[in-house]
Amino acid sequence: MAEQQVERLSGGSRAVHYGFLGIAALLGGYIWWATGDLNPAPVRPMPSMFPGAEIDAPITLVTADKQDLTCAYQDAVDGYHCAYQAPDKMWPDFDAKDPTARKKLLAPYKTIDDIMFLIPGMFEDPAVDERYRDEPPDRKARDKLERFTAQCKLKLVREVDGVRVKWFPNGDWQGPHKVWIGVPTSCQVSEP
């Protein structure tokens, strides 16, 4: 009699055990279905990067980037240079009001895939400049500005090592980084 009660209890607990496992599996499947991305974004292949290569680079921007982004690198490369030679030393004889000089000024930008490039005169490109004029950053908080993408063709100049970057005027310097310099040959602006 005692053996029958033990068998009945162990058989009942086994059913409860499997019931809990089934419920847990169903709940896990539902959570994955409800929160998972069934159509993940396609992975873009990394472009071949070498001097002279022309690559597609979807650059993510807000209009405040025109004044906020800066870099520091000790040398000019093919006439392009950062605003700073070192974090505490501005580039000598740079005139920010001269449009020709602004086209030679490097600044750090990132693609939608989080690849950083130093790009000269990004906001001097006609399409990017038009988008800037549509939403000037004056008196707006940076996080209130609409993010957009500049679909650019970049002609790669050279990879440089030891670059320091700053993403906000009062932010800290980051780096040193190893970064490609890419000159935009054409850009088209699209909203995200």
For residue 1, give every residue at least 6 positions away whose Cβ sits within 8 Å of its Cβ, in sequence order, or none.
none
Helix (H, G, I), strand (E, B) or coil at 99: helix
* Cα 152 to chain centroid, rounded: 14
How many residues are given for the chain?
192
pLDDT score, position 80: 95
Residue 47: inside a domain? no
User: β-pairing, 89-90 with 148-166?
Assistant: unpaired
Same domain, 90 and 22: no
Distance, in Å, from the CA atom of 77 to the CA atom of 149, rounded to the nearest integer, reads 26
- Indicate if 18 and 86 belong to the same structural domain: no
pLDDT of residue 137: 87
Q: Is residue 80 in a domain?
A: yes
Residues 25 and 107 in one domain: no
What pLDDT sits at residue 7? 52
Number of domains in the chain: 2
- Cα torsion at 44, 156, 83, 67 (round to 10°)? -40
32 in the same domain as 63: no
Q: What gap in Å lies between CA 81 and CA 68, rounded to an integer?
A: 16
Q: What is the pLDDT along the chain (192 residues), one digit of tens a residue?
A: 555 554 555 555 776 777 777 777 777 666 666 676 656 555 666 678 889 999 999 999 999 999 999 999 999 999 999 999 999 999 888 777 788 888 999 999 999 999 999 999 999 999 999 999 999 888 788 888 999 999 999 999 999 999 999 999 889 999 899 999 999 999 999 875
Q: What is the pLDDT of residue 99?
A: 80
Same domain, 34 and 67: no
pLDDT for 140 = 83
Contacts of 133 (CB under 8 A, 6+ apart): none
pLDDT of residue 39: 61
Asked if the structure places residue 45 within a domain, the reply is no
| 159-163: Cβ within 8 A, 24+ apart | 159/49, 160/73, 160/75, 160/77, 160/118, 162/73, 162/74, 163/71, 163/72, 163/73, 163/82, 163/108, 163/118
The pLDDT value recorded for residue 3 is 53
Question: In the prediction, which pLDDT does 34 show?
Answer: 65
In a shared domain, residues 23 and 97: no
Determine the pLDDT at residue 11: 54
Domain assignment of residue 48, yes or no: no
Domain span including residue 155: 54-190
Residues 117 and 181 in one domain: yes
